[in-house]
Amino acid sequence: MLPSLPLYIEGEVVKGFGRGSKELGCPTANYSLEVVKRMPKNVIPGVYYGWAQVDSGAVYKMVANVGWCPFYQNKEMSVETHLMHEFDSDFYGSNLKIVLVGYLRDELNFDSQGSLIAQINEDIQNADQKLDLPEAKEIKNQYFYKKAD
């Protein structure tokens, strides 16, 4: 059973494993283990889509993996968020707010890095389409996001 969505998560961006940008061509913003452990216990591992904001900047579409990343055999649960926007630099230490709006799929293991990359690209396309729906756009404009001055 999926947790009640939307699910709101906030915390500082920390350095991850360094594989998102370098190995997968998909940079991610990562939360500390403390933030992950504060999440509701009924969160099902998988790939979610939603909205994200760094500090008080613009709100962007995002896709996030919540879980153990079976391909990499993580030992701890993580939340790895890919903001669907190109940033000029890293934003470690920034405050990241995300809202998980919907569930795309279960976590999967892959037989190759190429098949993982293909699935990530498909997830991004699916998230992009779902976030254009009116019910998803409503969540983007909620009070959770602090507006830039």
What is the structure's pLDDT at 3? Answer: 61
Domain that holds residue 125: 7-134
Say whether 34 is catalytic: no
What is the structure's pLDDT at 142? Answer: 78
Q: How many domains does the chain have?
A: 1
Confidence label for 58 from pLDDT (cuts 50, 70 and 90): very high
Determine, yes or no, domain membership for 145: no
**pLDDT tens across 86-121, in order?**
998 889 999 999 999 999 999 988 888 889 889 999
Q: What is the 3-state secondary structure (H, E, C) of the chain?
A: CCCCCCEEEEEEEECCCCHHHHCCCCCCEEECHHHHHCCCCCCCCEEEEEEEEECCCCEEEEEEEEECCCCCCCCCCEEEEEECCCCCCCCCCCEEEEEEEEEEECCCCCCCHHHHHHHHHHHHHHHHHHCCCHHHHHHHCCCCCCCCC
Determine, yes or no, domain membership for 44: yes
Determine, yes or no, domain membership for 50: yes
What is the structure's pLDDT at 148? Answer: 55
Kindly report the CATH number assigned to the domain that includes residue 16.
Answer: 2.40.30.30
**pLDDT tens across 39-54, in order?**
998 899 999 999 999 9
What is the chain's mean pLDDT, rounded?
A: 88
Determine, yes or no, domain membership for 47: yes
Active-site entry in 10, 12, 76, 80: 80
pLDDT, average across residues 4-29: 83
Q: What is the pTM of this model?
A: 0.90
Determine, yes or no, domain membership for 54: yes
